[in-house]
Amino acid sequence: MKASTPSSVLLVCLGNICRSPTAEEIFRQQAAVAGLAMKVDSAGTGNWHIGHAPDERAQRHAKAHGYNISKLKARQVNVDDFRNFDLILAMDGQNLADLQVIKDSMTDTEDSLAKLALFSEEDPTYGGDDVPDPYQGDGDAFEEVIERIESSSQAWIESWRTN
């Protein structure tokens, strides 16, 4: 999906308490270091955790890597997100399919809506792979998520730099 640098990116997983809030903070920090001014947010396709802070394990592992996600609050993706963001990145194939259903139901012109992509799409290491949901896993699962998110965030930023 080679495209110009977006001014806004939304990161989406299922519940918005593990992967996407972690990705929000990592992506925000990496974009700032790269000198990219962009709005970064996260949301979930599901509504189970609206208003909740990220999972305690996600917070703990993120903090150990220098990312503070404790003040973020889960929210559900909505149709306005497709109008207010340039790019929406899904953590896995099911999230991407769910987002596509919402986008397809909208009457706006395709060009006026956010582009959709898999979060790992630009990553030479994890390209096309899902970022696995660590919710049912152990500490190693949360560490793997951070590693993959750091890698894929950097890959997106590099793809915009070389464009």
Is 18 considered catalytic here? Answer: no
Q: Tokens representing 69?
A: 């996600």
Output the pLDDT for position 57. Answer: 97
Q: For the chain, give me the number of helices (H) and strands (E)?
A: 5, 4
Question: Annotated catalytic residue: which of 41, 55, 130, 133?
Answer: 133
Output the pLDDT for position 3. Answer: 59
Domain count for the chain, please give it.
1
Distance CA 63, CA 149 (A): 14
Q: pTM of the entire structure? A: 0.95
Local mean pLDDT, 10-residue blocks, the chain (163 residues) = 81 98 98 95 97 98 98 97 97 98 89 94 95 95 98 96 75
Output the pLDDT for position 1. Answer: 41
Look at residue 136 and tell me if it is in a domain: yes
Question: Annotated catalytic residue: which of 19, 28, 75, 148?
Answer: 19
Look at residue 148 and tell me if it is in a domain: yes
Look at residue 104 and tell me if it is in a domain: yes
Question: Annotated catalytic residue: which of 13, 41, 123, 130?
Answer: 13
Output the pLDDT for position 109. Answer: 80
CATH number at residue 31: 3.40.50.2300
- Do the strands 39-44 and 87-90 form a parallel or antiparallel pair, or are they unpaired? unpaired
Quote the crossing angle between the two packed helices 19-33 and 56-64, to the nearest 10°: 30
Output the pLDDT for position 2. Answer: 47
Output the pLDDT for position 163. Answer: 66
Output the pLDDT for position 107. Answer: 86
Look at residue 67 and tell me if it is in a domain: yes
Output the pLDDT for position 161. Answer: 84
Look at residue 106 and tell me if it is in a domain: yes
Q: Give the domain range for residue 43.
A: 8-161
Look at residue 1 and tell me if it is in a domain: no
Look at residue 88 and tell me if it is in a domain: yes
3-state helix, strand, coil in the chain (%, to 5): 40, 15, 45
Is 60 considered catalytic here? Answer: no
12 strand-pairing partners: 43, 90
Alpha-carbon Rg for the chain, nearest whole angstrom, is 15
Q: Please say whether the dihedral angle defined by the alpha carbons of residues 152, 147, 62 and 131, taken in this order, is positive or negative.
A: positive
Where do runs of H (alpha helix) occur along 14-73?
Answer: 19-33, 56-64
Look at residue 3 and tell me if it is in a domain: no
Query: Which 3 state secondary structure label does DSSP give 109?
Result: coil
Is 133 considered catalytic here? Answer: yes
